[in-house]
Amino acid sequence: MLNPNKPTIALTFDDDPVDNPNTAHEILDILEAYHINATFFYCGSSINNSTVEKIKRSYLMGNEIGNHTMHYQDLTKLSDDDIRTEVEDAARLLHNITHLTHFLVRPPYLNYNENLLNIINEPLISASLDSKDCFGIQPHTIIHNVLSQVTDGSIVLMHENQIHTVTALKTLIPSLLSASYEITTVSNLMAEKNIILSKGRLYSHA
């Protein structure tokens, strides 16, 4: 249970699952050690025999499984039919693993427009705080980027495929907890803030 008297944030990880077992499993190990959950946005094209078990482990740990489309294309540049295919094909693969029927969608590059809101039949999730870890920056810079900008209700953007992210998390998570932040999934964050996630809307902060 989350403490309503504490500030709460959601950690999110994009560009999953990765074949590199070190970054994928180390992130899960860190979350598990601190008994916290996050939201992972998975790309369908990266789901294969070597990555399915990582998704299963993440799901069984209580992490939220999200849809990062099939091929990581800028959805704002695709036809309506191709947008649906990108989202629905990835959702089908995730359903086969988790048996869930609905997944929050994070559009690649965080790019969106009104057309996506009308076409995609799930809530779209952006972020209010970008750790910038996808640029290969050093762990101390990732930590600074998050701690200097985090606020109650932040949705933090990170990436599973960055080795420096793993190192940063080992300091970042205890630092956030020491600052009395609760860390959870996007859906749990929104529920804690009494925000109803609805299709046809994009959320970047609670």
Which domains does the chain possess?
A: 8-203 (3.20.20.370)
**H/E element, 130:** strand 129-130
**Which of 4, 153, 1 is CA-nearest to residue 62?**
1
- Helix runs in the chain, H state only: 21-33, 52-60, 80-98, 114-119, 139-147, 163-178, 186-192
Establish how many alpha carbons lie within 13 A of residue 100's alpha carbon, considering only the half-sphere containing its beta carbon. 18
Task: List all residues 6 or more positions away from 4 whose beta carbon is below 8 Å from its beta carbon.
Answer: 192
pLDDT tens, position by position, for the chain (206 residues)? 788 889 999 999 998 787 666 888 999 999 999 999 999 999 999 999 989 999 999 999 999 999 999 999 999 999 999 999 999 999 999 999 999 999 999 999 999 999 999 999 999 999 999 999 999 999 999 999 999 999 999 999 999 989 999 999 999 999 999 999 999 999 999 999 999 999 999 999 99
**Which of 163, 14, 10 is CA-nearest to residue 90?**
14
CA 15 – CA 13 distance, rounded (Å): 7
> 75 is written with which tokens?
């959805």
CB 24 within 8 A of CB 16: yes
CA 105 – CA 125 distance, rounded (Å): 6
CB 127 within 8 A of CB 104: no
CB atoms within 10 A of CB 69: 27
pLDDT of residue 15: 86
The string of DSSP codes covering 56-110 is: HHHHHTTPEEEE--SS---GGGS-HHHHHHHHHHHHHHHHHHH--S---B--GGG
Checking DSSP bridges between strand 124-125 and strand 39-42, what pairing results, if any? unpaired
C-alpha Rg value of the chain to the nearest Å: 16
